Amino acid sequence: MPSQFSPSARGKLASPLASALAVVAAASLFVGGAHATDAPRLVEKDGRHALMVDGAPFLMLGVQANNAANYPSQLPKVWPAVKALHANTLEIPVAWEQIEPVEGQFDFSYVDVLLKQARENDVRLVLLWFGTWKNNGPNYAPEWVKLDNKRFPRVITAKGETRNSLSPHFPATLEADKKAFAALMRHLKTADPDHTVIMIQPENETGTYNAVRDHSPTAQKLFEGPVPAQLVKAMGKKPGTWSQVFGKDADEFFHAWSIGRFVDEVAAAGKRELALPMYVNAALRDPFNYQDPYTYSSGGPTWNVLDVWKAAAPSIDAIAPDIYMRESANVRKTLEQYARPDNALFVPEIGDDKGFARFFYDVLGAHALGFSPFGLDYTGYSNYPLGAKTVDAQALENFAVHYRLLAPMAREWARLSYTGDVWGVGEADDRKAETLKLGDRWTATVSYGEWQFGSIDAPWMGKADKQPNREVPDGGALIARLSANEFLVTGYRARVSFGSAKGERFMMARVEEGHFENGQWVFDRLWNGDQTDYGLNLTTLPQVLKVKLATY
Ligand code: DGJ
């Protein structure tokens, strides 16, 4: 592989790096010109994924607006937060009740205002379709839907109690939702020719609370019938009834399949109008231990039913976890569960207080398409205890420090993550150093709480002060492979110390600090001496390094 390094003068590029980057720049110009209106799409290669936007991989530095931010009156309280965060993508709801308040009469005035203002703010959009399901219930469906139990029946529990959740088994509900969603996508096709909207989330946190499945006579009849052949095959099972095939999991798998099929039909109807990438989000269950499905949103795409959902919903491009668990072990396990060769990882919601921000590094290290804290805007709501107590400038800054670092190199990171090896780690709850294996030859140990000079555990450090402002873990580091022995390194309040996996004598032959400008690497200086003797100490400044390792 050609070296990414070459003698280069401050601010100037020299061959061969210059020529390699010139090719990339030329390619991006082409992308910006001839392919600027390419529809966004999800691509997969060798089990890695990318969201292609304007013809090239795109990293979503996202933010999700609060639920009731979906009105023109609220948007002026949203854009300043997006800007302060340095986010490039806004996730925001479009509610069924606002676009079809009267059956068959559509009103897209909010959508049009949103599109116009997003363009003016140079921000891409992910639209959240709050339809049949919004956190298990139809609260965002129009009144002509949510108050008509006869035409749009609700889930009935095993004990005969009615839940708020709508049943997935009734064609009238499916047809009404499909019709409204298709109308939205048809409208986007003409109103958004430049693809300001890059992804769509049909429904929101599907499933049912306080019931494992629908027990209405209609549902019961289906439950007592055969498992559809498509699912039997996908799960590698023998044909039979739901109970015969899935035993104790039958109720939950039946509900997951039924909701998955429903959502798939909604998504497919939308894609027939405009084929944008579509994902569903999951209200999570315990990532390690058994949890009674009665206690979470049963039938939603929790980790234990991902294979059921994959078989049920081929029109859904990705299944995404909404992360409100605070423990680093739980977050990492969840990322492992949802980052699969057959499932692009995307975190469309994560808690918005400081303790969650460090997971940005774990998420990007797991090759994610993007990351998006929930509820960072000035519409006057905060979802403590799942997130910050107050949404103010400081709350935004807790995430902005990380977005500011990645924003100038978001396209480069997305490309590296799609085409090669990347690693990332956020400071874990035990605050301990962690060693990443960078292939067969190299390792990188990421540690926290170090000063830039010396090591906190060295005896000669004596009574040196502890690093201040470490009440909440907030460090993290990202590494991407540039070639066999060369790595791009960045991070926040972390020390990165490279090592040889084979115990060879090695050194950092060259540590180049630079930055990205218009997709091009710009050399700033070399790090050496005090700047490298104690590892690479990434501070609160936006620092990006290219590191060449060698043995001697
Ligand atoms: C998850 C949902 O998907 C969001 O719409 C919102 O209700 C948050 N929970 C609140 O924490």
d(Cα 508, Cα 489) in Å, to the nearest integer?
13
Residue 19 has pLDDT above 50, yes or no: no
Identify the three-state secondary structure at position 208: strand
Instruction: Please give the CATH architecture assigned to the domain spanning 426-551.
Output: Sandwich (2.60)
In angstroms, what CA-CA distances link 448 with 365, 466, 473, 484, 538? 18, 11, 9, 27, 10
Which atom of ligand 1 sits closest to the CA of residue 67?
5
- Measured from CB, residues less than 6 Å from any atom of ligand 1 are 67, 135, 204-205, 322, 349, 374, 383, 386
d(Cα 22, Cα 20) in Å, to the nearest integer?
5
Which of 128, 322, 347, 386 is the best mutation target for the ligand 1 pocket, counting ligand atoms within 8 Å of the beta carbon and taking the most?
Answer: 322
pTM: 0.93
Which atom of ligand 1 sits closest to the CA of residue 281?
3
In the reported structure, the alpha carbon of residue 551 is separated from the centroid of ligand 1 by a whole-number distance in angstroms of 51
Domain with CATH 3.20.20.80 in the chain: 38-417
Biggest CA pair distance of the chain: 78
Q: What is the pLDDT of residues 135-148, one digit of tens each?
A: 999 999 999 999 99
User: Of 314, 218, 285, 212, which is closest to residue 255 (Cα–Cα)?
Assistant: 212
d(Cα 137, Cα 165) in Å, to the nearest integer?
4
In the reported structure, the alpha carbon of residue 353 is separated from the centroid of ligand 1 by a whole-number distance in angstroms of 14
Helix (H) or strand (E) holding 371, with range, is: strand 370-373
- What phi and psi values does residue 203 have, to the nearest 5 degrees? 70, 170
Contact between 182 and 272 under an 8 Å Cβ cutoff? The reply is yes
| Average per-residue pLDDT for the chain | 94
Q: What is the pLDDT of residues 182-222, one digit of tens each?
A: 999 999 999 999 999 999 999 999 999 999 999 999 999 99
CATH 1.10.10.10, applies to 38-417? no
* DSSP summary character for residue 539: -
Which atom of ligand 1 sits closest to the CA of residue 324?
11
User: Of 536, 507, 484, which is closest to residue 4 (Cα–Cα)?
Assistant: 484
In angstroms, what CA-CA distances link 529 with 264, 452, 469, 533, 547? 58, 12, 27, 6, 14
Q: What is the pLDDT of residues 363-411, one digit of tens each?
A: 999 999 999 999 999 999 999 999 999 999 999 999 999 999 999 999 9
Residue 477 has pLDDT above 60, yes or no: yes
Domain with CATH 2.60.220.20 in the chain: 426-551
Q: What is the pLDDT of residue 36?
A: 52
Sheet holding 422-426, edge to edge: 422-426, 476-483, 486-492, 544-551, 506-517, 520-527
Cα 40-42-48 angle, rounded to 5 deg: 145
